[in-house]
């Protein structure tokens, strides 16, 4: 799906691992988002995988979790979960994360017409990501989720439809 100029979202099947296998974050960032190999090895159901493409190249990745409201008490019926959001280390700091987050709500409205909000957790130490999400219009719900491997996480929510 083409979004704003230069950024595209490509739905991936498990057989598409090779299209994104090269995408890596810095070793100290893995605790925040996992790895591509972890995402493709997972047997979790109701997860949609996407590549983020910029200028035709796969430079990032994310998962949309359709069972988020069944998994987490802080999520509500109709919420989508944003997970494993990552921009390849070599492409970070060039505005691709910001452009992706700006384009994502409209893309998700088209891809998931019934969705009400996009919800995520972000480690309180991951200040670059926290700032990126807030700038993109996510609202910090004030909830703290303690289930993460790397410590407490903020819960953030971006409405996709009027309440
Ligand atoms: C968080 C992430 C997605 C941001 O993507 P990005 O393409 O690097 O971000 P952008 O270039 O669009 O920059 C967004 C903001 O972060 C800042 N930023 C980006 N990289 C930075 C760095 N290494 N140091 C300091 N600030 C940085 C930018 O200056 C910008 O802030 P501004 O708008 O106030 O100028 C990316 O860094 C990433 O993949 N991190 C590892 C995985 C991760 O933490 N995912 C989130 C899981 S919840």
Q: What is the pLDDT along the chain (163 residues), one digit of tens a residue?
A: 555 458 999 999 999 999 999 999 999 999 999 999 999 999 999 999 999 999 999 999 999 999 999 999 999 999 999 999 999 999 999 999 999 999 999 999 999 999 999 999 999 999 999 999 999 999 999 999 997 678 999 999 999 988 7
Judge whether 151 lies within some domain.
no
Relative to beta strand 139-145, strand 153-159 is antiparallel
Give the Cβ contact number of residue 94 at 10 Å.
12
Centre of ligand 1 from the C-alpha of residue 159, in Å: 22
Q: Is 129 near ligand 1, meaning CB less than 6 Å away? A: yes
* CB burial readout 102-123, b (16+ within 10 A) else e: bbbbebbeebbeebbbbbbbbb
Give a yes or no: residue 153 inside a domain. no
Q: Specify the pLDDT at position 147.
A: 75
**C-alpha 95 – ligand 1 centre gap (Å):** 8
Q: What is the pLDDT of residue 32?
A: 96
Question: Is the distance from the beta carbon of residue 32 to the nearest atom of ligand 1 less than 6 Å?
Answer: yes
Q: Classify residue 150: in a domain, yes or no.
A: no
Domain carrying residue 91: 2-115
pLDDT of residue 150: 82
* Residue 146 maps to a domain: no
On whether residue 163 sits in a domain, the answer given is no
Instruction: Report how many domains make up the chain.
Output: 1
Domain membership of residue 139 (yes or no) is no
Is 159 among the domain residues?
Answer: no
Measured from the Cα of 135, ligand 1's closest atom is 33
Per-residue model confidence (pLDDT) at position 21: 98
Ligand 1 and 118: CB distance under 6 A: no
Q: 50 CA distance to ligand 1 centroid (A)?
A: 19
Domain membership flag for residue 11 = yes
State the CB neighbour count (10 A cutoff) for residue 128. 13
Those residues with Cβ within 8 angstroms of residue 136's Cβ, 6 or more apart along the chain or in another chain: 98, 101, 102, 104, 158
According to the model, what pLDDT value does residue 1 have?
54
Q: Which residue minimizes the CA distance to atom 15 of ligand 1?
A: 132
Domain CATH for 70: 3.40.630.30
């Amino acid at each position: 799906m083409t979004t704003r100029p230069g950024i595209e979202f490509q739905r991936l099947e498990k057989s598409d691992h090779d299209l994104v296998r090269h995408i890596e974050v810095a070793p100290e960032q893995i605790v925040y988002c996992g790895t591509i190999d972890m995402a493709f090895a997972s047997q979790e159901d109701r997860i949609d995988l996407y590549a983020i493409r910029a200028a035709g190249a796969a430079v990032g990745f994310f998962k949309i979790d359709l069972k988020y409201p069944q998994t987490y008490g802080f999520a509500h019926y109709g919420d989508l979960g944003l997970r494993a959001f990552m921009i390849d280390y070599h492409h970070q700091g060039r505005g691709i994360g910001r452009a992706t987050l700006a384009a994502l709500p409209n893309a998700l409205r088209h891809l998931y017409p019934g969705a009400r909000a996009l919800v995520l957790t972000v480690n309180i130490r991951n200040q670059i990501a926290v700032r990126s999400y807030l700038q993109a219009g996510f609202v910090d719900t004030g909830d703290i989720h303690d289930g993460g491997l790397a410590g407490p996480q903020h819960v953030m929510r971006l409405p996709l439809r009027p309440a």
